[in-house]
Amino acid sequence: MGRVDRTTLSLATFNLLNLNLPGLPIYSDTDGWTQEQYDAKVRWTAAVLARLDADVVGLEELWHADALHAVLGAAGLTDTYDVLATPADGTRIVCAALVRRGLLVDGSAEWVQHFPPELVLRSSGEDRQTPEIDVRIDGFSRPVLRFEIAPRDDGPAVLVHVCHLKSKAPAPVYREDWYRADPDTYSRHRTALGSAVSTVRRTAEATALRMMLTDVMKGTRTPVVVLGDLNDGQHSNTLNIVTEQPRYLVGISTGGSDVALYTAQTLQEYRDTRDVYYTHVHEDLRESLDHVLVSEEFYDHGRRRVWLFDGLAIVNDHLDDADHKATGTSDHGVVVVRFRYRPA
């Protein structure tokens, strides 16, 4: 199959900031990108992809697959990657991926819209003081892209997930019937209520993703990768649900957890004397929202390690740009993580 001697693997996540063809609507912006803004966006995105040279690139906020093909053409990468972007027709946001040719298993991918039917977020409370809770939600805001790659012929395929969880921006509750029925009461609380809705939705999505991951990881030797804009920090409750908070500081080749995921951010921190990881800036607050998460097969100290962490880099100088429309830049940093084949 031509992959038996592959000794490196690189994984990246890249929020494209609404990559759509010019003139097509983006959310409530009916005009979308001008031709000039689109051209700048294609040029910048192409330059970043060429610089990354990653084997797998998880993409968020893609609207139209044709715009992505234009980027690859501008970067000279058309023949380098298989493009996974089937639902991206310009009318909705899609998670997508670029996979270096020769890595994709069966040439197929799936977009998971619905939560596992077993997901129930309902409780009567752990004691008499605790009111009952019942959260009714059955799907992801942005469907999760799932596919397999085979970096080596002598090992199992790696199951990759590309995710974009609900943002921390307050949900626009002012459009809801209950709000419109009594705006004088709710207007003063609009931000708090909208933020709570967003947090509940993101938490439910993280839980659904965790259930999907556990189903494929528990009791198996399936390597798993999660790439994406998870819209929360490394130690947030969202990430804790997705990763199951594994232990890191263990003896070499003695650690690893069957269902846990390890953040590349933490793996990098153990190699550095200083943490300068941030992928988003909002009102001068620098946060790490974009993540590469890997199973124990990619964990340095795991007894079932196959791939050794070989460094993380972030493209984020463009976050200082005042006008992303004019420069064509994204409002998120781009993360790339590299591994070397080094079984424990």
User: Domain limits at 144?
Assistant: 8-341
Provide the domain count of the chain: 1
Establish if 56 belongs to a structural domain: yes
- Is residue 53 domain-resident? yes
**In 3D, which of 248, 312, 241 has the Cα closest to residue 13?**
312
97: in domain: yes
Residue 187 lies inside a defined structural domain of this protein: yes
Task: Judge whether 2 lies within some domain.
Answer: no
302 domain-assigned = yes
Per-residue pLDDT of the chain (344 residues; tens, 9 = 90+): 444 568 999 999 999 999 999 999 999 899 999 999 999 999 999 999 999 999 999 999 999 999 999 999 999 999 999 999 999 999 999 999 999 999 999 988 999 999 999 999 999 988 889 999 999 999 999 999 999 999 999 889 999 999 999 999 999 999 999 999 999 999 999 999 999 999 999 999 999 999 999 999 999 999 999 999 999 999 999 999 999 998 886 656 667 788 999 999 988 888 776 666 778 777 667 788 899 999 999 998 888 999 999 999 999 888 887 799 999 999 999 999 999 999 98
- Residue 324 maps to a domain: yes
How many Cβ atoms sit within 10 Å of the Cβ of residue 290?
29
Distance CA 30, CA 284 (A): 29
Q: Which residues in 99-112 are b (16+ Cβ under 10 Å) and which e?
A: bbeebbeeeebebb
**Given 3-state DSSP classes, what are the helix, strand and coil percentages for the chain, each rounded to the nearest 5?**
30, 30, 40
Whether residue 79 is contained in a domain is answered as yes
3-state secondary structure of 140: strand
Please tell me what DSSP assigns to residue 139: E
User: Which helix (DSSP H) or strand (DSSP E) does residue 135 occupy?
Assistant: strand 133-135
285, 202 contact by CB (below 8 A): no
pTM across the whole model: 0.93
Which CATH number fits the domain that encloses residue 168? 3.60.10.10
Residue 16 three-state SS: strand
